[in-house]
Amino acid sequence: MTTIRVVAAHDVVAAAFPRPVTEADEVGLATGKAIDGAVAQWSHAASTGARPTMTAVRRWAEETLDEELRDAHHPIAPAERDRILTEVAGVLSAFRKSELYGLPRPRSRLLLVTEACGVYAQPDFWNRTDRFYEMKSYRPTPIPPAIQLQVRLFQLAFPRFEAILACFDRHHPPVTAELVPVPAPTPAEARAAVDLVAQVALASGRERVLEYIDAPIVRYTPGT
């Protein structure tokens, strides 16, 4: 049996770009999780032929927002909650009209960067053949280094797929979908990302038996 150390893509990003979480971050994280959870559930339902109403989808997001804020021990004023839910509704409406609607989320893949360690990578959506999407409910322009690293890990785990950053800027209504292609990493950029994964995984990764891992496995090959 082969024992390896594994981390998730967000662990690598957090290690590379550590930052304290502020109160504003708590609200933003809760809002993002509310949107992410609602669109994932909605798109999955649509891919199976179900047609949840917008009212139902907004209720999913509302319940997640309240739960996340409660878990963070961060109550907000009713007026702020209403404002956030209006922003969420704008994103949901734009998502329904976008090409992402109805797409599934791919299974998480394990990118083996060496024979001793790897990283789990799972973008938000894919078309199963040649394109994946990472969704943000704001407009990261220019693309920050943390998001560049996140998407780069997805690109290495999903080689030969086009990477699309799907931006739904909830802060600037009316919300529209902006699909931004992300260039493939250069060999030097890929090598730097792989070296970072190895560093983080060997320092703080969880031990797993490779033969028992229930996920598609992709081995990093320079130049792919």
Cα 27 from Cα 104, distance rounded (Å): 27
pLDDT at 157: 98
pLDDT at 23: 78
Cα 122 from Cα 153, distance rounded (Å): 9
> Helices marked H in 48-205 — which ranges?
54-71, 78-97, 145-157, 187-204
Confirm if 141 and 59 have CB atoms less than 8 A apart. no
Q: How large is the average pLDDT for residues 110-131? A: 97
User: Average pLDDT of the chain?
Assistant: 95
Percentage of the chain lying above the pLDDT 90 cut = 88
pLDDT value at 224 more than 80: no
In tens, the pLDDT along 73-100 reads 999 999 999 999 999 999 999 999 999 9
Please name which of 211, 213, 126, 143 lies closest in space to residue 178, comparing C-alpha atoms: 143
Q: How large is the average pLDDT for residues 115-132? A: 97
> Helices marked H in 72-186 — which ranges?
78-97, 145-157
Residue 18's beta-bridge partner residues?
none
Q: How large is the average pLDDT for residues 108-119? A: 97
pTM score above 0.85: yes
Domain definitions of the chain by residue range: 19-97, 109-219
